[in-house]
Amino acid sequence: MTKRNYEQYRFGITDWIEYMIRVSGMTGVIGYLFYDSAKAVVMAIPIGLWQYRSQKRHKTKEQKQRIAMQFGTLMEGLVTSLTAGYSLEHAFLEAGKDLSFVYAEETEILEELEWILSGIDRNIPIEDLLKDFGERSGSEDIRNFANVIRAAKRSGGNLIHIIQKTVHSITNKMAVEEEIATMIAAKKLEQKIMFIMPYGILGYLRLTNGEFLTVLYHNGIGVCLMTVFLIGIYLAGIWAERIMDIQI
């Protein structure tokens, strides 16, 4: 088992199938609605490449958010174990036992705990193990936690108090992020509807009054106009995604 880099997402079979279905559907719809030509599917290849980058970026973001949320659960378990009097290293072992009842075996945080516990058995300092995890996680919260542990171990301060304050701060931040995500969920749905709307309008016109659009097909001006409309749709979609990508 190799260590994961959460900044990168590797497509699995399911992901490739999802991608191929999405791209095939979109290029087919674009070829039919915007150009009324099967040859136009070739022109839609850039959209397929954009979809690949978009889907990979989305999956990577989901992966990083998932490991950050799972780590939040781990931190709560660490605080409980430390308060009970366990050492930091033993607290990870106890927290891992608790997490095994919450998550499935293939869950990312359990894999990371396996690496951490294996490193502890080989006498690798816990702060080095957490630093490595933080660098691979792509999560600012995990990196900050690793830095706090390193500073606390070096200064010899009250480890339990320091970790409790850190966990409290990080969990509050996660709660704010969840609240923001809930608040903009409706707007994201509106964004998707607005993105699909032009396709729906063209589809409706093709089905109910196809002659109305014939002037836009199979001629230079029509192709140019449709291409401008299509580019505008996707630029608006990218702009909307960036507006709603709120970082705190």
φ/ψ region of 164 (left if φ > 0, alpha if ψ in -120 to 50, else beta) reads alpha
Domain count, the chain: 1
d(CA 112, CA 139) in angstroms, rounded, equals 14
Look up tokens 């839609």; give the residue: 44
Q: How confident is the model at residue 247 (pLDDT cuts 50, 70, 90)?
A: low
Q: Output 123 or 243, whichever has higher pLDDT.
A: 123
Tell me the mean pLDDT in the region 60-88: 85
Q: How confident is the model at residue 95 (pLDDT cuts 50, 70, 90)?
A: confident
| Whole-number pLDDT of residue 1 | 60
Write down the mean pLDDT value for the chain: 83
Q: Output 55 or 1, whichever has higher pLDDT.
A: 55
pLDDT digits (tens, 9 = 90+) for 129-172: 888 998 898 888 888 888 888 887 777 667 778 888 888 888 88
| Whole-number pLDDT of residue 248 | 55
| Whole-number pLDDT of residue 120 | 87
Q: Are 88 and 160 in contact (CB under 8 A)?
A: no
Query: Is 5 part of any domain?
Result: no
Does the pLDDT at position 222 exceed 80? yes
Query: Is 62 part of any domain?
Result: yes
Structural domain boundaries enclosing 215: 13-244
Backbone angles phi, psi at 138, to 5 degrees: 75, 10
Query: Is 37 part of any domain?
Result: yes
| Whole-number pLDDT of residue 196 | 87
| Whole-number pLDDT of residue 20 | 86
Structure tokens at 178: 């969840």
pLDDT digits (tens, 9 = 90+) for 6-48: 888 888 898 888 888 888 888 888 888 888 887 777 766 777 7
Name the least confident of 3-7, 43-47, 71-75: 43-47
User: 3-class SS at 101?
Assistant: coil
pTM equals 0.76
Tell me the mean pLDDT in the region 94-100: 83
Tell me the mean pLDDT in the region 63-69: 87
Query: Position 123: which residue type?
Result: N
> Positive or negative, the Cα torsion across 24, 30, 36, 41?
negative
Does the pLDDT at position 83 exceed 70? yes
Tell me the mean pLDDT in the region 209-238: 84
Q: Are 135 and 64 in contact (CB under 8 A)?
A: no
Query: Is 1 part of any domain?
Result: no
